[in-house]
Chains A and B, each alone.
Chain A
């Protein structure tokens, strides 16, 4: 056997890259998404080929994409953030209240306050997880109810209506730039920036390392506490951003805004190939998972599938994704083990 270290010829590199593309988990989810869109469009062409159809296809999942990205980052570190739905509710109402209580407040200021509020709520989660030594599942289940409780206490039976918010702000929720909704552009920027960070920065790689083996991360001397905190703050920030965009998109918020979003986000990440035990997966996968989840929700009624089956389909999708992950992991580990045996013969 010759020692490795020779530079691979470029042709080989291209082949490897395309090979990787066809084998990667994201590709599979993307293919499933294309099939869902194609089939639904054949049944009802307006699903895609109408101005509203195309816009809705992109607009509907945009808010979930933001939350799913944050959720993916947290899951990669072997935690979970169940409080994001409540954070969305709180920050959405906070945004509405600001427009009512501070007349003439600049929109950008409202954005900053909502995002900062999300960061603080995420920081609380992170501190409790990092220093409480209690699993994130329990901590964030607690803060999910706690944050929602604050929301209910504050909102009562009030609601913020579209008449309370400036038109420019509401337009942001539905307007398009070159046929692409501005919400989608924001989501895309977040996905790309987070994906870049996870792949190219030490901090990003350390998130994977921590999720892959927390004990080894300690032995390596990585700053586990700080990284976990960062992951939760990011999740909170993105939930805060999602909250204010929710207010802009739907023009109304009450004490129940955002309920259930946390589980959709976990589902999106899992469907997108983020391993629930951490260490692997990408935010691209989570984002495509979010699009697939909501697109299927919209496609099923068009395909004439009854209401009560729709939830079951989503469930089947999540279980299917987990079973697929397990099978792939088994196959991979078998392949890796046999490879190593061959190399030693």
Chain B
């Protein structure tokens, strides 16, 4: 329970003031983490708090810009994953990467198989060690079968077996339970505890507080790329942790203007897609901004994609202004007045190698064409209208979209969809990777669109954005809408609570 006995022994892993930026985006401002041997250390924080970046620095995938990094008291500097591995660090990712064609045993030992006296791979020794490791984990596994077709849970066990065979002293599990069933989670926890009792330091990253409190000895909270606190798990409550995770002021960065909220435009009625989301119902009214909040991977983008018709869904119906939106037919959805600004604008929103003008007019090529031909002039004229209205800062319309900043790219994508004159606009992560100034501009734009009577469905992982912009917040957790919170009642705590708790529904 207390951490004092270990203070003489150097910690298994220690990071102090670690910083990392990607261009202008600061992923980690100052992160601290001190993981003792013989302990399971939970690392929690909102989406974008910097946990994943921290893990990648420890794993040798990224190099830190500043700060200190110690392993068992020794300062270290990794420039590759191989070095981190050699130093005894193993990372188990949410979705393991194995070789599907190779056997379970080969997957554990690839690249460092035991050799016999003839210089051949000693298959018997390899299998004996593998079965010994799985025996220790008390797990049954067919050692000869290929990794193909194994469940995520079993694949994670192979990763853990790999870590043990490497004798990793630090084991980092990045949201390992996200894809596991209840029984599998229990089995994983039993394995984690026995590894801890062997003297290893384990870092456990999870959004599920019940699991965090059931498994961990110590908990560190991160927020906005900074270290917030570290406590023994017995000394804190869930409420305190949630408050520390979100604890910041909601500034007036998000200026939602009052808009007249009219009749229902988009109605989603009980749609389900097996294994992705189930029984999702909601509506969006004219002039209203509805936010889909929740954790990354909860199924928000998938719901949006299904509504727009990119992905199939199994049952239920979607109507737009009283007319049925056909399933799996984005072109029909567009014709009806639905627009989707996707999550990944570089891959899904823009053709980076094409000009701004061409990108901005992609959605209205048919109207622009004359006898099937489009002139650059028509293209530029149409694009100029939107570029001016959205204040796209681009020296020329024929600049390549890939050369624009994130904020300006997002405006081009917005312009492309606004040109179709939509009645309902779905925006997935409207301000991801955009600098603060442009962020406010994008927010103003969205708010302005709502003011003109467009219904807006916004997916956002940024709580302040959700709270500042939305008239209504729908919280998605593991493929279901678990809470609907009105603007007046929406607080960081209430949204975060609904996003992380399985059973209870808020209000």
Contacts and interface: CB of A to CB of B under 8 A. Distances in A.
Contact of B151 (A200, A216, A332, A340): A340
B99 A216 contact: yes
A279 B113 CA distance: 18
Interface residues of B, number: 38
Contact of B99 (A2, A3, A208, A221): A208
A163 B497 CA distance: 90
A213 B138 contact: no
A333 B148 contact: yes
B111 A212 contact: no
B140 A343 contact: yes
A212 B141 CA distance: 21
B62 to A, nearest CB: 14
A202 B106 CA distance: 10
Nearest to B99: A212
Nearest to A280: B101
Given A201-B121, A340-B149, A222 B111 contact: yes
A5 B140 contact: no
Nearest to B153: A344
A279 B132 contact: no
Interface in B355-383: none
Where chain A touches its partner, the secondary structure class is: helix
Given A219-B97, A337-B149, A205 B110 contact: yes
A309 B143 CA distance: 47
Interface string A1-24: 111110000000000000000000
A333 B146 CA distance: 9
Nearest to A275: B101
Contacts of B82: 221
A212 B107 CA distance: 11
Contact of A201 (B97, B120, B151): B120
Interface string A317-345: 00000000000000011011101100110
Contacts of A275: 101
A308 interface: no
A63 interface: no
Interface in A221-245: 221-222
Most A CB within 10 A of own CB, among B98, B101, B112, B149: B101
Nearest to A218: B81
A220 B102 CA distance: 14
B282 interface: no
A205 B123 CA distance: 12
B488 interface: no
Nearest to A1: B140
Contacts of B97: 213, 215-216, 219
B106 A205 contact: yes
Nearest to A211: B101
A23 B438 CA distance: 63
Contacts of B121: 199-202, 205
Contacts of A333: 148-149
Contacts of B111: 202, 206, 209, 220-222
B145 interface: yes
A3 B100 contact: no
Contacts of A335: 149
Contacts of B80: 221
Contacts of B132: 5
Contacts of A339: 142, 145, 149
29 contacts: A2-B140, A3-B139, A4-B135, A4-B142, A4-B143, A5-B132, A5-B135, A201-B120, A202-B111, A202-B115, A205-B102, A205-B121, A209-B106, A209-B111, A211-B101, A213-B97, A213-B98, A217-B99, A219-B97, A220-B110, A221-B82, A332-B148, A333-B149, A336-B149, A336-B150, A339-B149, A340-B149, A340-B154, A343-B140
The 5 closest A-B pairs by CB, nearest first: A336-B149, A5-B131, A221-B82, A279-B101, A200-B120
Given A3-B134, A215-B97, A333-B148, 17 more contacts: A3-B140, A4-B135, A4-B141, A199-B121, A200-B119, A205-B102, A209-B102, A209-B106, A212-B100, A221-B80, A222-B110, A222-B111, A279-B99, A279-B100, A279-B101, A340-B151, A340-B154
